[in-house]
Amino acid sequence: MPPKKKKGKGKKKKKKDEKTELTVEDKYKRTIQEIECLRDELASRTEITRRAKDTTLRMKEKMLEAQDTVEAEKQNKLDISSDLTRQYKTMQSEMALRIHMLEQTVTKLRDNLAKSEEELRRTRKEFEDMKKEKDQTIAELKFKIEHMESVYESILHDAFDRMSAKVEDARGKWQTQALETQEKNKQLLLEFGLNPLEI
């Protein structure tokens, strides 16, 4: 009896021609899914191999039974023996071919897994590099802001100091002018015969 064909053998893999960039999390999830698929595929292939071995054992038992029958019926011995031998060899060939295909599939899945892990490692490194660059830029901007604050504070202090000096100079001039004006007014009052202290 030929082994059952595995369902889903002809599924096509999705093309990787999509131009959209995947995030690190999506790539990580995809890698996990590929690992799970690899595990499922290995479990499925193991089950197929076990069934094939069971089938082989059953065929061997049938062949032994046939040989016992052949001893009783010598006329059919050559036909039955030949038929059973042909079936057994066909099954062995099919099983060897299937095992070879399974080994190729496992190798391919392992290669894909290794590529995915390398891509994930490279993506993580790029992410870490971008993070370091961003942190460095932020630190530089903070330093520039602090420097600008210090410069502006110094400028404001200088401006206030100059303004205070100008105010002091103006006040001194105003006081001098006020005293001169008072003195003139006093003189005028005295010329008119008025006592400035009485007014």
Query: DSSP assignment of 27-82, as one string?
Result: HHHHHHHHHHHHHHHHHHHHHHHHHHHHHHHHHHHHHHHHHHHHHH-GGGHHHHHH
Q: What are the angstrom distances between the C-alpha of 195 and each of 47, 143, 189? A: 131, 70, 7
Inside any domain, residue 59: yes
> For residue 19, what pLDDT is reported?
45
Contact 39, 106 (CB under 8 A): no
> For residue 13, what pLDDT is reported?
46
Inside any domain, residue 184: no
d(CA 82, CA 103): 31
> For residue 198, what pLDDT is reported?
65
Inside any domain, residue 187: no
Split into its structural domains, the chain has a count of: 1
Which residue is listed with tokens 């006093």? 186
Inside any domain, residue 92: yes
Which residue is listed with tokens 């001039």? 173
Inside any domain, residue 171: no
Inside any domain, residue 162: no
Residues of the chain predicted below pLDDT 50? 1-3, 5-19
Which residue is listed with tokens 């071919």? 97
> For residue 20, what pLDDT is reported?
57
Inside any domain, residue 163: no
Which residue is listed with tokens 């999509």? 18
> For residue 77, what pLDDT is reported?
62
Inside any domain, residue 102: yes
Range(s) of the domain holding residue 62: 23-148
Q: Is 110 exposed, middle or buried (0-12, 13-18, 19+ CB in 10 A)?
A: exposed
